[in-house]
Amino acid sequence: MRVVILGSGRGSNAEAILQAQQTGRLGRAQVVKIFSDKPDAGILALGPRFGVPAEFIDPAPFKTKLEGAGEERFIAAVRACAPDLVVLAGFMRVIKPGFLGAFAGKIINLHPSLLPAFPGLDGIGQAFRAGVKETGCTVHYVTIEVDAGKIIEQARVPLAPGETLESLTARVHAAEHALLPAVIARLSEGAK
């Protein structure tokens, strides 16, 4: 299963995927390319470390969504990789119908809450401020509605006594780093 990763930030979830690949825990999946919409994103530095090509693609003209000329550039670049799966790992853009249509049923996202609770930005902070007893992370298929696609799998993170936002954030990130590679491995073996 050919995997393309899209990310905008430091790339900790992409790094977890690449480490799983390096240690034989990614099933039949193989990351073939990393793309970012930010020229200085840390995720791009992972490519050389793990022997995977990594490339910046100009997302212009929009700042928060993938549409227009930027969307066309992303579609062409990702399509050239012939992916079986496109993984959004901290890709901070709203995906639009053009990209969704080009890779229908092949795009997954990782969100830092137990969806459908706390969609959108700052899922961990939203959950913490709401005073929930547990939160976690969700891997789901991407649809036109943000964080509303079919849930593939979730990992639960109960709040500990004396939990701070910082400690909760660290524990949710640890759960993400375990969940996302495991889901990719299972998808690569044909388990949905």
Q: What is the tens place of the pLDDT at every residue in 47-57?
A: 999 999 999 99
Which pLDDT score, from 0 to 100, does residue 63 have?
85
pTM for the whole structure:
0.95
pLDDT, tens digit, 9 for 90 and up, residues 27-84? 999 999 999 999 999 999 999 999 999 999 999 988 888 999 999 999 999 999 999 9
Q: Across all residues in the chain, what is the average pLDDT?
A: 95
Once rounded to an integer, what is the mean pLDDT over residues 9-19? 97
Once rounded to an integer, what is the mean pLDDT over residues 137-151? 95
Handedness of CA 37, 42, 45, 47 (dihedral sign): negative
Which pLDDT score, from 0 to 100, does residue 191 have?
53
Q: Tell me if 190 sits within 8 A of 29, measured CB to CB.
A: no
Q: pLDDT category, 192, cuts 50, 70, 90?
A: very low
DSSP code string of the chain: -EEEEEESSS-HHHHHHHHHHHTT-STT-EEEEEEESSTT-THHHHHHHHT--EEE---TT-SSEE-HHHHHHHHHHHHTT--SEEEESS--SEE-HHHHHHTTT-EEEEESS-TTSS-SS-HHHHHHHHT-SEEEEEEEE--SSTT-SPEEEEEEEEPPTT--HHHHHHHHHHHHHHHHHHHHHHHHTT--
Which residue has tokens 């913490």? 128
Q: What share of the chain has pLDDT > 70, as a percent? A: 99
Once rounded to an integer, what is the mean pLDDT over residues 146-168? 96
Give residue 93's domain range.
2-188
- Provide the number of structural domains found in the chain: 1
Burial bucket for residue 24 (CB in 10 Å: 0-12, 13-18, 19+): exposed
Alpha-carbon gap, residue 140 to 110, rounded angstroms: 7
Once rounded to an integer, what is the mean pLDDT over residues 83-104? 95
Residue 173 falls in the annotated catalytic set:
no
Residue from 111, 140, 173, 177 carrying the catalytic annotation? 111
Which one is predicted more confidently, 54 or 191?
54
Residue 99's CATH number: 3.40.50.170
Which one is predicted more confidently, 52 or 190?
52
Query: Is the pLDDT reported for residue 93 higher than 80?
Result: yes
Tokens of 101: 């249509």
